[in-house]
Amino acid sequence: MRREVTRARNRAALLDSAVAVIAQHGYEAARVGAIADAVDLTTGAVYSIFGSKRGLLIAAAERMREEQLDVLERLADPKLTLTEVLHELARISYEAATGDLANVRASFQLETMVAGMRDRDLLTSVTMVERTDTALARLLTDRQLDSSGTRTTPEQAARLVPAVTALLSGLSQELLFAPGGIDLDYCTDAVAVLVGLIK
């Protein structure tokens, strides 16, 4: 049991280190030794747990995606209206883009995408867009749309997903690259406008 706990702790530490080192140096330049050294582990630990540098990258991207999916699950309350869910998504994106680790996380995600663009098989492994889109569509389905009690259909939710994703991504980039240019109210107002796509 103690060995499993140690392995889990080492795995988490290596994932944190991989995100930081890849964000700073890029995937190609990031050395497995530097990732391991940063958390006082050996390269052997990396290969034992992840099999390869590529396996480590995929696991780090997977963990980041799972964290995003967990956030979506917290908005599953069926009493929330569509506008309330969109406002919450905007708030979560705003906080992520202005938080302490925003630059590191964004840099890691960009480096992951660049690595994936060079290797299509890797891109499939690290993006998992389909899972996120499916979760978001599920979250936006059967939400009260207006005061008449009309609720969103699966088709309406699917229509909203690309626009919500693109807008939140763009707003996050604006917050990262032009701090202070927009505020939370702007983000929530902007995302609420998307309801017009299905009315």
Q: How many structural domains does the chain have?
A: 1
pLDDT 10s digits, 156-194 = 999 999 999 999 999 999 999 888 889 999 999 999 999
What's this model's pTM, rounded to 2 decimal places? 0.83
Q: Counting beta carbons within 10 angstroms of the beta carbon of residue 37, is it exposed (0 to 12), middle (13 to 18) or buried (19 or more)?
A: middle
For the chain, give me the number of helices (H) and strands (E)? 10, 0
pLDDT of residue 28: 92
pLDDT of residue 129: 53
pLDDT 10s digits, 79-133 = 999 999 999 999 999 999 999 999 999 999 989 888 888 887 777 777 655 578 8
Do residues 111 and 102 make contact, with C-beta atoms less than 8 angstroms apart? no
> Which residue is it, tokens 């994703």?
165
User: What is the residue range of 129's domain?
Assistant: 2-197
Quick one: tokens of 115? 């690595």
pLDDT of residue 148: 86
d(C-alpha 175, C-alpha 193), whole Å: 19
CATH number assigned to the domain comprising residue 127: 1.10.357.10
Residue 62 corresponds to which amino acid? Answer: E
pLDDT 10s digits, 24-73 = 999 999 999 999 999 999 999 999 999 999 999 999 999 988 888 888 88
pLDDT of residue 94: 95
